[in-house]
Amino acid sequence: MSEEPGPSDTQPQSQSQSQSQSQSQSQSQSSSSSSSAPQSSSQSSSSSGSGTLSSVDTIPVRDLSSIPEEAEDPEEPPPQPWGRLLPMEKGFAMHNCIKDEYWFGRDRRCDYSFNNALIRKSEKYASYSKKHFRIFRESGIPYIEDHSGNGTYLDGQYMGQGKKLPLANNAELALSVPQNKVFVFIDLTVDEQSNLPKEFKDKYLISRKIGSGVCGEVKLAFERSTCKKVAVKTINKKDFSSTDRTNPSAEREIEILKKVDHPCLIKTVDFFQTEETYYIVLELMEGGELFDRVRSRSGLKESTAKLYFYQMLLAVEYLHNNGIIHRDLKPENVLLSSNSDVCLIKITDFNQSKILEEASLMKTLCGTPTYLAPEVFTHAETVGYSRAVDCWSLGVLLFVCLSGYPPFHTHQGINLSIKEQITQGLYSFLPSIWNKISEQAKDLVKKLLVVDPEKRLSVQQALQHPWLQVSSSVIQ
């Protein structure tokens, strides 16, 4: 049965329609691929299947660009911490404060739990509460609130259960007893490091002041990559230099100091400088200064003084053998490794004269002359002086360690100045104190406090003195 013709087959075409169709066919053919063979009119007519061309036949095909993938929302930057807790005690780790509230304690459900293997080994662990304290923010201000049974201490101040206090930048937090310092809080909304060299800021995070002296102040700092604690000494160049320019020779001397390697000498870790300031990164000692130890006890036991003094002699002997004269030996420059009587000591601030200008340094040191040798006053402006100046200072140090007071002072009606007492070698042993001290110890003091440097004991001779040959505990 034959198929009936459709409407398009029977509908008549006008001349214009015919011409239009012919033009459309021509356009369609011209738009075909050049690789196709030319078509005859009959082929063209039959290819339409009806007499009317579809839109596919009439509209030239164009390549479309690839459909774009659905655009992803840009990732939001991670929230930035507003505070940071840096660890002061083994077992505790750095903690960034991002949320508005954090709980700290032994409970494992606390945001920061003390329940880890290292902290559990500590004898103090039992004194920590399940919820010891919390840190939080109100109206952008950080606070700490005590929830413990045995106490939380903020910068040495006992807080009291339920009490909250503002948490200042560089505040120290201690648990149960004020000596058990576990964290330093850094307020990251406060920029106190803008004046530091970029190289320093990239490597260290500076914290609170832990000491000061005539040559500058010392601050606690943390190595960013490890959270290791270090000490950073800052020295204002204007106090010791006639120029504000950077000093290449200072960097050379620091490189020499980095190679100094003795268990009783503070290790120089790093060095930075700007046009105004030196930054010397040093090994940190946790036990504080010998000065504070002697002052708090009004002198040391003779056995303890012997232990410390023996280590001082070994350190100074090493310096002298390496061509370094300290020239500023005093209790503030002798640091202790712990609060125990039996501990390692380390001498710091050696070789400063190689970094600072000689005249300025000596003028500064003479402002506090208690430990300076007589020849520093009498010959400094005319001739140089030898390593014997350190031996005199060691004699003063030993005197102070044994008695708790300096040999040269202006108390008790003494009319001579300290400089006059030193240059004349005038001092005395108060019977109420020195009668308890051995004759050998007093003999060593006398042989070190000799005005004539040629007759003064050397470090090597002091090490051979009978007082140090008597059996005593010495840290190897």
- Take residue 212 and report the two structure tokens written for it: 């000061």
DSSP class per residue in 282-297: EE--TT-BHHHHHHHH
List the beta bridge partners of residue 186: 84
- Has 9 been annotated as catalytic? no
List the beta bridge partners of residue 219: 209, 232
Pairwise CA distance, residues 450 & 298, whole Å: 25
- Take residue 5 and report the two structure tokens written for it: 């013709």
Q: Are 97 and 83 in contact (CB under 8 A)?
A: yes
Angle of helix 302-321 relative to helix 388-403, nearest 10 degrees, comes to: 170
Q: 335-356 as b/e, with b when 16 or more CB fall inside 10 Å?
A: bbeeeeeebbbbbbbbbbbbbb
Catalytic residue among 270, 328, 349, 390: 328
What is the phi/psi pair of residue 170, to 5°? 70, 15
Contacts of 176 (CB under 8 A, 6+ apart): 124, 127, 128, 148, 150, 151
Pairwise CA distance, residues 85 & 96, whole Å: 6
Neighbouring C-beta atoms of residue 16, cutoff 10 Å:
8
Pairwise CA distance, residues 13 & 8, whole Å: 10
Cα angle, residue 255 at apex, residues 254 and 260 outer, rounded to 5°: 90
- Take residue 54 and report the two structure tokens written for it: 């579809």
171-175 and 181-187 strand pairing:
antiparallel
Contacts of 340 (CB under 8 A, 6+ apart): 287
Task: Report which of 274, 286, 289, 368 is spatially closest to residue 332, judged by C-alpha positions.
Answer: 289
Q: Are 247 and 241 in contact (CB under 8 A)?
A: yes
Q: Are 189 and 137 in contact (CB under 8 A)?
A: no
Task: Report which of 126, 124, 123, 132 is spatially closest to residue 153, judged by C-alpha positions.
Answer: 132
Pairwise CA distance, residues 343 & 304, whole Å: 9
Pairwise CA distance, residues 290 & 336, whole Å: 7
Supply the residues annotated as catalytic: 328
